[in-house]
Amino acid sequence: MPRSKVKLAYISDDSARRTTFRKRESGLIKKAEEITTLCGVEACAILYSPYSPEPNVWPSPLDAQRVISRFRNMAPPEQNRKMVDQQSFTRQRLEKTTEKVTKLGTENRHNEMTQVMYQCLSGRLGLECLSIGDLYYLSGLVSQNLRVIDRRLEFFQRRDHSG
Amino acid sequence: MPRSKVKLAYISDDSARRTTFRKRESGLIKKAEEITTLCGVEACAILYSPYSPEPNVWPSPLDAQRVISRFRNMAPPEQNRKMVDQQSFTRQRLEKTTEKVTKLGTENRHNEMTQVMYQCLSGRLGLECLSIGDLYYLSGLVSQNLRVIDRRLEFFQRRDHSG
DNA sequence: GGTACTATATATAAATG
DNA sequence: TCATTTATATATAGTAC
């Protein structure tokens, strides 16, 4: 950055922070536009700030929705499909997933999924955002709890009918 | 843009396009990190490319979910570009707030149940503590989420088998 | 609070290994 | 391809209005 190099830390001065935000916000969007145009890829960016009543959503709220709905849905864009054949694509993905799972460990995964479940239930997270692996795990987790709940309900019903 | 100024258009050469993408991808993420740190704002970026089986999601899939769901909650069904002016924004926000207030009773219950579910999942609460009414509600909540998960899994399976 | 203007830091296209 | 190295284009912090 010009004139002086700025420390990469929260700018405490309100005015300076706002000015910096405005400048960098436009810079960031410009960069996003460029990479999209130059490389023919899809991208979206969402910026929240206290300076605008709405988030700055690029390229547009509608386009962003489309991009977001494909979030973690790993089909590549149509025009580039030829570049990555399905087989190597699948293999890559498998390797990546395996590596990830190994790294995370069972306990981490469980905690993460519990978090996800909580977010889903409270409506803070859309399921379309999860990978297939996440969904399988989540399905198991939910099913398990449903069975426990059903057993509990049966207990109540038996008790109410008999007593 | 060093060495020579490049025309802002799709790079037809595969190799050059890929190289440019890799460089600019990291540059974009770096810029996003910086504005977040410097200005204390929330942001997320999603980049799809044929060079990676998964999209590059910044800051992380889970954090991005949080940012995205906030975006969804804020500008729900009619997200269009016209909505940018302050008046319609204010009106929409008022409607949203009114709607929210009327639904508060329901939401309270839902949140309470969600909390309960979370506690159950984390083992901090046994189901035997719940009333039969609570259990019915919880059962519905969990079943509903299970159905959504199942549909989502079916989608993946159909896609994988067809392509 | 904006805008316009530098001077400097950074990003990056092309070259090179 | 990739990493490293330039040389140059761009972004932007501070400044002045």
pLDDT tens sequence across B100-146: 444 444 545 555 555 555 555 444 455 555 555 556 666 666 666 66
Residue B7: how many CB atoms within 10 A of its CB? 9
Judge contact between B45 and B29, C-beta under 8 A.
Answer: yes
Nearest protein residue, CA measured to C1' of D10: B1
Q: What is the pLDDT of residue B43?
A: 86
The span from the CA of A73 to the CA of A95, in Å, is 17
- Interchain contact, A129 vs B68, CB within 8 Å: yes
Length of chain A: 163
Question: Mean pLDDT across chain A, nearest whole number?
Answer: 65
% of chain A beyond a pLDDT of 70? 34
Q: DSSP letter at A8?
A: S
Assess whether A22 (CB) lies less than 7 A from strand D: no
Of residues B18, B89, B148, nearest to A54 (C-beta): B89
Phi, psi angle pair for A131, to nearest 5°? -75, 170
Complete edge-to-edge strand list for the sheet that includes strand A56-58: A56-58, A43-47, B43-47, B56-58
Q: What's the CA A141/C1' C9 distance, rounded, in angstroms? A: 51
Using C1' positions and the CA of B13, the closest nucleotide is C13
The span from the CA of B29 to the CA of A32, in Å, is 10
The span from the CA of A68 to the CA of B44, in Å, is 11
Question: Mean pLDDT across chain B, nearest whole number?
Answer: 65
**From its phi and psi, is residue B122 left (phi > 0), alpha (psi between -120 and 50) or beta?**
alpha
Residue in A15, A20, A111, A142 to test binding to B, most B beta-carbons within 10 Å:
A142
Assess whether A96 (CB) lies less than 7 A from strand D: no
Q: DSSP letter at B123?
A: T
- Interchain contact, A86 vs B163, CB within 8 Å: yes
Q: Which nucleotides of chain C are near protein (any atom < 7 Å from a CB)?
A: 1-3, 6-15
pLDDT grade, residue A24 (50/70/90)? very high
Judge contact between A24 and A5, C-beta under 8 A.
Answer: no
- Within a 13 Å sphere around the CA of A26, how many CA atoms are in the beta-carbon half? 5
pLDDT at A131 over 80: no
Quote the strand ranges of A40-123, DSSP E: 43-47, 56-58
Mean pLDDT of B33-47: 87
Assess whether A100 (CB) lies less than 7 A from strand D: no
Residue of higher predicted confidence among B37 and A74 = B37
Phi, psi angle pair for A76, to nearest 5°? -75, 160
Residue of higher predicted confidence among B151 and B51 = B51
Strands B43-47 and A56-58: unpaired
Q: What's the CA A2/C1' C7 distance, rounded, in angstroms? A: 6
Nearest to B24 by CA among A138, A157, A158, A27: A27
Q: What is the pLDDT of residue A48?
A: 80
Helix A132-162 / helix A86-121 crossing angle, nearest 10 deg: 40
Q: What's the CA A51/C1' D16 distance, rounded, in angstroms? A: 24
Query: pTM score, two decimals?
Result: 0.52
